[in-house]
Chain A
Amino acid sequence: MTDTATRPPRAPEGERMAATLAAQAYQKATQARFRAEVIEGGGDYVIADAVAPHEIFHTMDVPVISLPWYSAVISAKQLSPYYFGLMDELGYHDGLPRYTSLPFMTTLANEPERAPYGGLPKPTMILERLRGDYGQKIGEQWARAFGGVPLVTIDNSSVTELTPGWFRHAQSDWEALYEPHRLDFQVKQIENVIAVAETLTHRSLDPGAFRQVMHRVNEAGELVDRAKRIIAAARPAPVSLPEQLTNVMAATWNRGSQWAVDHLRTYCEELEARVASGVAACPDERVRLLWVNNGLWFNTGFYRAFEEKYGATFVWSMYSNFLSDGYRKYFTDDPLRALAARHISMNEQLHLPGWMAEWIIEQARDYGCTGAVMLVPIGDRMSAFGTKLCAMALEQGGIPTLTLTASMVDARLWDNAAMIRKVEEFLEQRVLK
């Protein structure tokens, strides 16, 4: 155990990074703008799947509400039990996907006083990327529940070969990695989305502005990579996982903006200053852990529950540097094809056996992690597929792995004491022994 006298200072409880506060303030300002321009002003906005070309709308200055973001907000406000109850009442059985259905339920409930931000008003369009089998089912009904809005879909072609080491090819060598026939198709589909968006909003996509947006996403990715290297090299880590997520996700949701680039640069500088002055998220850091698979949005405090007793701190989740490894797509001539490449295999990289495990093992080595806790989601099997093989690959790579089966969003199904006990036993028996 580290001698108390030589420990670096702990970031005081409740004292967050200035960057974190700035990210939260920006999110609030964005919400205020959404309220003024869309809810009160009746302006255009789009509801979109997370893995969809938001960059088109960002360039056109059309606000985007991301499905999982709104799900996470509903969940964080502890409203998920209410909406799942409504789902039961309406005849949607309790085995149906929960993560993506919460926002739809707020529309069916039609209770602005209860829903976050007063509920979502009628959008200009709903954009669904049809990754699984049911996105179109929810999208059609949701479009109807809004009184009839266009459902625009991007169908999901599938890669035939999983080239090893996707993260080494994904930034510059993506044409072969994602297969040209798929990229051709994806470009056509995005062109269709642009045509619909231009028609409905009476705005035009400025090619020069779009090119700049695409360059800025790459620049943001480079800064996230810089943040990764700072956190990976520092002992102890200068930032907690919840704060990492706040900063990186704010930039991800606002990707392509100058704010995202500036924010991440400030974030990196603050991380460096923290390292220089020895400020730590967990001064008694003894064990670094990976949080594998989706986030636990209704209880992000869980990530820090093992610091005091065990010096065990989560330093990585799949959101930590996916903006770097997954989003960056360098291009010379054709930013639209680069945009097509960005989303075409995004979920596959995070969830398919083979691709998922090899990236996470690489992250464990980079960050110096010696244990992993993996969330296996209930009621969203798309995110559960491949977790067994991933856990086996991590174990084979020398990284003890604990799997926790839980809902990502349904607080009713979470037994906090039992889950803490499981992680504590795992730490005592497999990681700290």
Chain B
Amino acid sequence: MTGADALARIRAVYADRLGEARRRRAAGATLVGYFLNAVPVELILAAGLDPIRLVGDPARRSPLTERYLEEYFDGEVQSLFGAAMEGDFADMSLLVIPRTAETYLQLYYFLKEIPKWELQASVPPLHLFDLLQTPHWTVAQYDLGRMRALAARLEEIGGARIDEAALRTAIATCNRLRSLLGQASTLWQGDAPSLSGVDALAVIAAASVLHPDEAVPALEALVADPPPVRRDDRPRVLLKGSPQSDPRVTALIEEAGARVVAHDHVAGDTTYDTLVSEGGDPWEALVHHYQLGIPGLRAYPQRAQDQRFLALVERSRAEVVIFFHDQYDDTLGWEYPDQKKLLDARGIPSLFLKQQPYLDPPVAEQHAAVAGFLATLQKVPA
């Protein structure tokens, strides 16, 4: 496989995850769909099942969403609910919803309730993965129990009994994917980039859409045979905040005259920078990783999250940060004033796009805000 072939495949599955799911289902796979970055795919792989991360599609609407969900739900969650109502997830033998964001927890309860109201709704079997991220020993013990419960549920739907050897193999495979993403990140974070910020999102996502049997060789090919570099003097932007599970905002920023070199959200660059320990007990290693080692809305203390953010700013050599928060954000806005102070202290300009709608966004207004902000940067004497 050439790097160009790999990139084409990555772009294709990024653009059509559900098509990819249908293809694998038709080929006989038992698919386990999941949301967000907090479901231990290692368990799914160790059970011999096929994991695929599902995201919202702003173009996918269902009239049932407006009927049942309050407008205050995150736009992407509204989209996922609509997709579930329209049967988009019918190929999934199980849909795993992590509890790492309140609106996703609510989504779980709404999907559980909805068959009472919509008899035709074909919601797949659901599993709540009640992962908590408070940094305490007691919580780790609770999370271990939830990992075991997920493993038992995977067995119930036809997965193999998860033994230690299979789990170690799956952890090594997923770590390989994370390491490859780390290597690939030079393609969008380097001085002479060969991939745009939009492509960066696709590459990061590919690791959770493609089965590792295909994702590993694709990423290896991309790293070994990258697209040609191109000169790019546009300001280097780090995009931070609400999940960017589709490329619209990144594309808008790049069209406005910047280059997105890093993403700090649950579909971005901080999702692969920590490996699962391959020594010791694999269950405890998984708990440690998902409790403390991944980014998440509920994770704290804030200082640790901010250090991770600043490390990404430095690693990507971002010159500018754009904060982008969902329309009904009730959490990230608490962090913003302190994070802006941290950037101000380092002389890094930032733009805050707050309360931005996922559905029907004001694109012209957003473009003008970003372009106006970038124009102010150019006026600053070197």
Point out residues on A near B: beta carbons under 8 Å: 90-93, 95-97, 130-134, 136-138, 140-141, 153, 155-158, 160, 162, 181, 185, 188-189, 192, 352-354, 376, 380-382, 384-389, 392
Contacts and interface: CB of A to CB of B under 8 A. Distances in A.
Given A95-B328, A137-B335, A155-B132, A384 B70 contact: yes
A356 B301 CA distance: 33
B176 interface: no
B337 interface: yes
A96 B300 contact: no
Interface residues of B, number: 49
B113 A385 contact: no
Nearest to A387: B70
30 contacts: A91-B340, A93-B325, A93-B355, A95-B327, A95-B329, A95-B355, A96-B330, A130-B298, A132-B102, A133-B297, A136-B134, A137-B300, A140-B301, A153-B134, A155-B136, A155-B139, A157-B130, A158-B128, A162-B112, A181-B142, A188-B141, A352-B109, A376-B70, A381-B73, A385-B73, A385-B106, A386-B70, A388-B69, A388-B70, A389-B110
A156 B101 CA distance: 12
Most buried by B among A130, A137, A353: A137
B111 to A, nearest CB: 10
Contact of B130 (A133, A138, A160): A160
Nearest to B297: A133
B334 A134 contact: yes
Given A96-B330, A134-B334, A381-B330, A354 B109 contact: yes
Contacts of A384: 70, 72
A378 to B, nearest CB: 9
Contacts of B297: 133
Interface in B251-265: none
B328 A158 contact: no
Given A137-B302, A353-B109, A385-B106, A185 B142 contact: yes
Contacts of A381: 70, 72-73, 328, 330
Interface string B222-262: 00000000000000000000000000000000000000000
Nearest to B70: A384
Nearest to A90: B337
A96 B330 CA distance: 5
A39 to B, nearest CB: 28
B334 A96 contact: yes
Interface string B338-364: 101000000000000011000000000
Contacts of B379: none
Interface string B106-145: 1011101100110000000000101010101011011001
Nearest to B100: A133
Contact of A132 (B67, B112, B330, B354): B330
A353 B132 contact: no
A136 B298 contact: yes
A175 to B, nearest CB: 17
B181 to A, nearest CB: 26
